Structure 1
């Protein structure tokens, strides 16, 4: 993964013109009237700033083109408003967003000309205000001055965090590329989660105000109390209507999702294989510094910390006479504390590592993820209650990273499978949504929201700090990296142990792909040297030069880099390519690609030497050349014929037959001896279990 990210960053850095064009278009698109509501400018610009901080892009051109794009987008929006005036509310497609236009008008009337500057930084109105300025006839000169100055400030604000992050990652990369990769993945996931939360609160809900109004009118025609209550709660003018809708939607989504996850965690299915692959991926990225960081984070979700913070918050709510909310929070925390162990006992799923006893020794769902979501999610709901959409977005922008970091730490440390954490998040989110829906209409309990937020943060800091001071070393030892290694003797491997290894490559998604037809003991370079006489050579590495080969229709098949393929969460240790034998000029036909991946198995030879055992595949790729201008490898065969398989002719190779009739070649130093007479005949070999290694690991 680290190599792949490095190659991607290097490619972007070597193509600054492309990067300049992207930031210009994304900044312009973000400012276009109505259209900008759906353009993810923040994600792209923070990414561009990160590349600047990494030293891959020149900062001044990026800043210039981002600013010019923002200026152009606002100018186009101003022109649209100036041309259409009030008719814009009835012209397609703008008439579909009449509520947004009216919201922008109200914002402009409230803030006047300075709304053009301020609005650029406010999600939900930033793509509306410039058009409103044109509608009301704001002078061109004044608008242009505000447009240019606000665009400069906006570009700096959006690129700045990425520059800081990129500089930090550059420094971390000098220490450990794996640590930089892990922290980068964590920050990207948290960033995306925060953006989704803000997008939902500030953009999606206002878009459906018209539909909500029609629903309210329909409910209002019914005279029963339930219909009137729903009509009142869903009224767009009601300050709590948005929260009620979000709560209902979350309940509708999370409850079925949790049930689906619970039904899908049976052994040896796609989800279990995906869990194993993702665990292996993160285990290979672990570093001592990363372990310390993730242990620190995960301890914030320990039961003693959660219990202490919950007790303080509940006591505070009772002290403020917020009886219903205090009782609701107490029920939610107690319910999560009871149901999580019950679910674990029901599903009986083992953890990736053995670190607890009793019900806690089981895995699904993650207690850390569940209780963290319930506690801090409900606190965020209480603090955000009856606040403006912008304030709500800010509050949840603080809660989501804390919850996400604790959840991520459980996967990184190997304490839970990925699906355990996702299950905990969905179950906890359902409980938060139920709390918000039930208590969203309560408005007569004064809880002192900012006092509650400060008290929660202070308690978390104090109790968490004390807990870490006392138990950090013990926790770090408990979460130390632990990758199980299974040792097979050479006799055991050749006589049947080979069946413990997977029969097919396992993707990160858990899907089984091409067959694994080779098991190799020892140094993979020995295999490369043995196959060199058959024309196999190391695959070209990724670089700007090799990438341009895909853009040329005459590139030889063996000169094209191979696309990375993951086996059970691990990258290939060896990749060899050979063009087709009948491809005399190297520009037609295709190529064979052999890959070799590590496993958790080792073979012990008769001399006591332990040799790592790897598995490999051999697939054929056809080189497509559209219009003779491009070269595009496409796998068309995932298994060679017997006369095309060079593995069968290697010195000392041992062939074994699987139940489905396919053969697997066992090679390397541990196989280079006469077969044991007690070895089972090929047609007597017991059935192998696809993906057995994935289930075991």
Structure 2
């Protein structure tokens, strides 16, 4: 059905096609058409028509944006007026009332993020506007996030169609995969806080300790059991946070060494390099050439060094600690030093120069731009996690990952690196970031910027009254506090 409708749309006159691009995103959440025909398909087809010269690109972006904003506003009004009766008559029969009330309270208080992020997933894009109206989210808040989400979603979908051109079916499939991936990420982000709240209370440790098997192991191996318990304690930096950093360090190091071994021996993962390179050459377009020529500079020292210097200087001055400046110098400097050392040891040749569409020099493995991008933007994300607010963290981590992936993809697309070159550079930088995090967790306990993650545990005083204790009260004085 979608193929037949798409062929029909691609054959429409320009102004009729623009009306279709306006109507479908508008009806997606207001009339629930999105359950049958996702709105991004209309936007992608509009981009294809713009690439063919049938309609202007700016017109597709404008009508698609207006349709998305107006349609979601209508969906908000329908949910505000009729949402609760509809819910009680359908899904509400299968869901507990307190769960529905809890969801409404969440959307009323923090629904702006759900409106923005839900825009990029087909299922949530249909339901979120009506749910936000039903929950009583203020319309000016809804409108602000609705406009921001619509701008990003419409631009991404239209440009995918414009770049993909005749391969719009593959682009639409890619867009649906992106939507499913975004939905999975949102589910994980919704579940993780619940899991983390349970973990940080350490109640699972108490229940585990009361089990007969751990008690028997504790009696038989007291020192080993005590050490393991301390490594899994989420209330102190040297516990679960340091254990996670150590696991990431070991995994990234092992992966980097494995890739390096394959590159040196010309076996294993390197056998996929020629096929990936050939596929990239066959799918180059003028728009992608321009995009990746620009984004690859996000991994160059000309951009990264000034950014790191400014951020480290501001944090050092504001926090009155040299840790940000030292971390920026050590991590980024170590990444550049290791890149130069490994490059000279491996001596790997680049792809044929006739395939390059960007300047490059030196040996190929590991990719310098990728190494620097993952080290620098990853370090900035760590700064945001340690010194920034709780709302900043997911956006900082997402931005760091997206920029790192885009820079790595640009080096492969521009023809100056093999796939394993960028994988090696990325894993090497991740290992450096994990090592820096582990060192900071173990050697810098006095700053304690992670204390707000620890939830005091309920205990009983001698009189039998329940009190709240923080980690210092439970563990006694910090032996490293004087460092």
Coarse TM-score class (shorter-chain normalised): 0.5 to 0.7
Q: Give the Cα separation in 2 of the matches to 1:374 and 1:122.
A: 29
CA contact under 8 A between 1:278 and 1:418: conserved in structure 2? Answer: yes
One of 185, 205, 208 as aligned partner of 1:218: 205
Aligned-pair distance for 1:416? 0.7
Aligned-pair distance for 1:143? 3.2
Counterparts of 1:218-367 in structure 2, within 5 Å, are 218=205, 227=229, 230-233=232-235, 247=245, 250-251=248-249, 253-265=251-263, 269=267, 271-286=269-284, 291=289, 293-316=291-314, 318-319=316-317, 321-353=320-352, 361-367=362-368
Q: Give the Cα separation in 2 of the matches to 1:241 and 1:52.
A: 53
CA contact under 8 A between 1:49 and 1:160: conserved in structure 2? Answer: no
RMSD: 6.0
Query: Which residue pairs with 1:369 in the alignment?
Result: 370
Q: Give the Cα separation in 2 of the matches to 1:387 and 1:46.
A: 34
Query: Which residue pairs with 1:121 in the alignment?
Result: 115
CA contact under 8 A between 2:24 and 2:42: conserved in structure 1? Answer: no
Q: Secondary structure at the residue paired with 1:231?
A: coil
Q: Give the Cα separation in 1 of the matches to 2:344 and 2:408.
A: 21
Q: Give the Cα separation in 1 of the matches to 2:90 and 2:244.
A: 33
One of 188, 203, 209 as aligned partner of 2:190: 203
Q: Is the alpha carbon distance of 1:311 and 1:204 closer, same or farther for their aligned partners in structure 2, counting shifts above 3 Å?
A: same
Q: Give the Cα separation in 2 of the matches to 1:196 and 1:430.
A: 28
Stretches of structure 2 lacking an aligned partner (at least 5 in a row): 51-59, 210-217, 219-224, 450-483
Q: Give the Cα separation in 2 of the matches to 1:342 and 1:190.
A: 39
Q: Give the Cα separation in 2 of the matches to 1:85 and 1:197.
A: 22
Q: Give the Cα separation in 2 of the matches to 1:191 and 1:9.
A: 20
Aligned-pair distance for 1:163? 3.1
Normalised TM-score (structure 2):
0.56
Q: Give the Cα separation in 2 of the matches to 1:7 and 1:350.
A: 48
Aligned-pair distance for 1:378? 0.7
Q: Is the alpha carbon distance of 1:437 and 1:122 closer, same or farther for their aligned partners in structure 2, counting shifts above 3 Å?
A: farther
CA contact under 8 A between 1:45 and 1:158: conserved in structure 2? Answer: no
Query: Which residue pairs with 1:526 in the alignment?
Result: none
Does residue 400 (structure 1) correspond to residue 409 (structure 2)? The answer is no
- Listed one character per residue, the Cα deviations across residues 559-616 of structure 1 (whole Å, up to 9, x for unaligned) are xxxxxxxxxxxxxxxxxxxxxxxxxxxxxxxxxxxxxxxxxxxxxxxxxxxxxxxxxx
- Listed one character per residue, the Cα deviations across residues 148-195 of structure 1 (whole Å, up to 9, x for unaligned) are 99999887765543433455567778xxx69x99xx89x979978994
CA contact under 8 A between 2:112 and 2:145: conserved in structure 1? Answer: no
Q: Give the Cα separation in 1 of the matches to 2:248 and 2:184.
A: 12
Q: Give the Cα separation in 1 of the matches to 2:382 and 2:156.
A: 30
Q: Give the Cα separation in 2 of the matches to 1:169 and 1:338.
A: 38
- Listed one character per residue, the Cα deviations across residues 282-335 of structure 1 (whole Å, up to 9, x for unaligned) are 334446775455334333423454445445555555555423343333322232
Q: Give the Cα separation in 1 of the matches to 2:440 and 2:369.
A: 25
Greater strand share, 1 or 2?
1
CA contact under 8 A between 1:350 and 1:363: conserved in structure 2? Answer: yes
Aligned-pair distance for 1:408? 1.9
Q: Give the Cα separation in 2 of the matches to 1:253 and 1:199.
A: 25
CA contact under 8 A between 1:194 and 1:400: conserved in structure 2? Answer: no
Stretches of structure 1 lacking an aligned partner (at least 5 in a row): 1-5, 32-40, 90-100, 109-113, 448-697
Greater helix share, 1 or 2?
2
One of 143, 154, 169 as aligned partner of 2:134: 143
Counterparts of 1:581-620 in structure 2, within 5 Å, are none
- Listed one character per residue, the Cα deviations across residues 37-66 of structure 1 (whole Å, up to 9, x for unaligned) are xxxx9xx65565444454599969988998
Normalised TM-score (structure 1):
0.42
Counterparts of 1:149-228 in structure 2, within 5 Å, are 158-167=149-158, 195=182, 199=186, 202-209=189-196, 212=199, 217-218=204-205, 227=229
Aligned-pair distance for 1:279? 1.6
Q: Is the alpha carbon distance of 1:331 and 1:202 closer, same or farther for their aligned partners in structure 2, counting shifts above 3 Å?
A: same
Aligned-pair distance for 1:218? 1.3
Counterparts of 1:20-59 in structure 2, within 5 Å, are 46=40, 49-54=43-48
CA contact under 8 A between 1:373 and 1:428: conserved in structure 2? Answer: yes
Q: Secondary structure at the residue paired with 1:416?
A: coil
Q: Is the alpha carbon distance of 1:400 and 1:67 closer, same or farther for their aligned partners in structure 2, counting shifts above 3 Å?
A: same
CA contact under 8 A between 1:202 and 1:390: conserved in structure 2? Answer: no
Aligned-pair distance for 1:346? 3.9
Q: Give the Cα separation in 2 of the matches to 1:211 and 1:219.
A: 12
Q: Is the alpha carbon distance of 1:86 and 1:375 closer, same or farther for their aligned partners in structure 2, counting shifts above 3 Å?
A: same
